[in-house]
Structure 1
C-alpha cells in the first residue's frame, strides 16, 4: 500500500499509450526521469521505439510496444508484455492515446469520423481501464491517469465527436474513482485546453478549425512536458481532476454553476467551422 507521503510517480512501473509523441512521450520521459520503468506503447511502433530509445540513451529504462487501443486484444497483449517485463502488474497506467477531429456540425460529421474518434479517444481508455483496473484493484495500490480534455465539459460547436469522446473519458474516470474508493488506487482525469502537440496535424480537422487551433495553441498552449509534470504531481496528491490551465479551471466552474448561460455563450463562438 502507498503511504500518505509516498509519491506514486516515483520509481513507477508505468504503461503509457500514445507514447510515440506529444503528451504520451512527455509522460514516458518524465516518469523515467523520476526513476520509473516505462512501457512506451503506440499504434506507430517506430515512434514508440524512438521514445524508448531516447529514455534509454538518457540512462532510463524503457521498452516499446505496439498497441492499437481501439482493439481490446491489443490492449490485453500490452498488459501481458508489461507484466512480463515488470515481473508483475504495473503501478501506473496512462491512457493517453487520442486523435483530434473538428470543424464540422452535427449531421455533417461523417459517421466514419464519429467511429474513428470514439474508437480511439473513448474506447481506448475503456479498454485500458477494463484490462488494467482489475490488476490494480487486486494489488490495492497504484494509479490510472486518463487523458481527457477541457472539451469534456467545454461543448464547443463543431467539435461534437471529440467533445463526446472526452466527456465519456471524464465520466469513466469519475466512475472508476468511485468504484476504487477504499483501495489505495488513485484515478486522475487530465483536462487541459491547448497543448503544443501534433494532434491538429494528425487529426481530421477542417482547414478553418485548424487555423484557429494553431493560433490558440501558439498563444495559450502549454508544452506537453509541463502538462505531464503537473498531472503527475496532481496524481501524487491523489487529485481526481488535473486542469493545468487557468482557462480550463475557469470554464469548469462557470459550466458547473451556470450551465445554461455557459452554453449560450459558447454558442456565440462558432469561428473555425467550415
Structure 2
C-alpha cells in the first residue's frame, strides 16, 4: 500500500471555493494544516470560506477568478505564487448546472457550460502542471459527478461535460504515471449544495418543466457538503485515483458497470416515484 499523502505544510488551490463542496474541502484541508489559495467569482463567499477555514499557521489567500476566462486562468499561477512559495494540490471544483433536453438547450448555453465545467478544468490543469511538477508530492483533483458515471435524460449537456472531465482525468493520469503528480477524479452523488437551485434554465423549457426537474433533483441532494469534503480529502490522503462520494454514487457506479447500456431502464421508474 502506498504511503499516505501528508497534507500539513503543503499548499492547495481550490476553485469554486466560495460555497458547497469547495468550501468543505477548504475546511477539511485547513484542519490538516494545509495552506489554501481559494478562488471563485463570489468574493463575499470567499471571505466566508476563509473565515471558516482560518487556523493557526495556515496561510490563506483569496482570488477572484472566472475559470472560463482563458487570460485570467493563464495569469492565475503567478497570482498564487505571489502569496505562496509553491503549489502541491489543485482541486478543480468549480462547476455549474444546466437542465433541459438537448433540443431545449441552446448552443450558446451548451458552450457556456463546457467553458466552466470542462475547459476550466483543462486550462487550470495546464496552467498549474509546471508548478505541480516542481513539488515532491503533488495531486491534481478533478471534480466530475455521478453524472460522469451515468447520463440521464434532461442532463445531456451536464453529463457530457462531466464524462469529459472523467476521460481527461483518466488519460492524464496515465500520462503522468511515474512522476510526482498523481491524478484523482471525484464523482459526488447527491450533495446538498445550491447547484440545482442555481442551475441555468434553457429558454425552450416551460416553467412547469423547470419546477418539476428542480423538485426531482433537489430530493436527491441529501449528503451534507461537509461530509463530501471530508470524504474527498481522506481519499486524496489515501492517493485514491477515483473517489465515489455518497452511497448513491457507489450504487450508480456499480449499476453502470453491470448494466452499461440498460441502467436507465432500471432507474427511470424509481425517479418518477
Q: TM-score, normalised by structure 1?
A: 0.89
Q: What residue in structure 1 maps to residue 88 of structure 2?
A: 91
1:105 to 1:268, Cα distance in 2 relative to 1, 3 A: farther
> 1:186–1:235: 8 Å Cα contact kept in structure 2?
no
* Among 59, 64, 75, the residue aligned to 2:73: 75
* Among 7, 16, 19, the residue aligned to 1:18: 16
What RMSD over aligned residues (CA atoms) do the two structures have, in Å? 2.1
Quick check: 91-100 or 250-259, which moved more? Answer: 250-259
Structure 2 unpaired stretches of 5+? 202-209
1:245 to 1:83, Cα distance in 2 relative to 1, 3 A: same
* Among 127, 132, 145, the residue aligned to 1:131: 127
Number of positions where the alignment pairs a residue of Structure 1 with one of Structure 2: 264
User: Map of 1:1-274 to 2, 5 A cutoff?
Assistant: 4-56=2-54, 58-59=55-56, 60-88=58-86, 90-102=87-99, 104-139=100-135, 141-205=137-201, 206-217=210-221, 221-266=222-267, 271=272
> Segments of 4+ in structure 1 off by > 6 A?
none
Partner Cα separation in structure 2 for residue 76 and residue 115 of structure 1: 20
- Render the CA deviation track for 1:37-70: whole Å, top value 9, x for unaligned: 10111012222122123333x4443111011101
- State the Cα distance separating 1:266 from its structure 2 match: 4.4
Task: Identify the structure with the greater helix proportion.
Answer: 1
- Render the CA deviation track for 1:168-208: whole Å, top value 9, x for unaligned: 11111111111110013221111011101111122125221
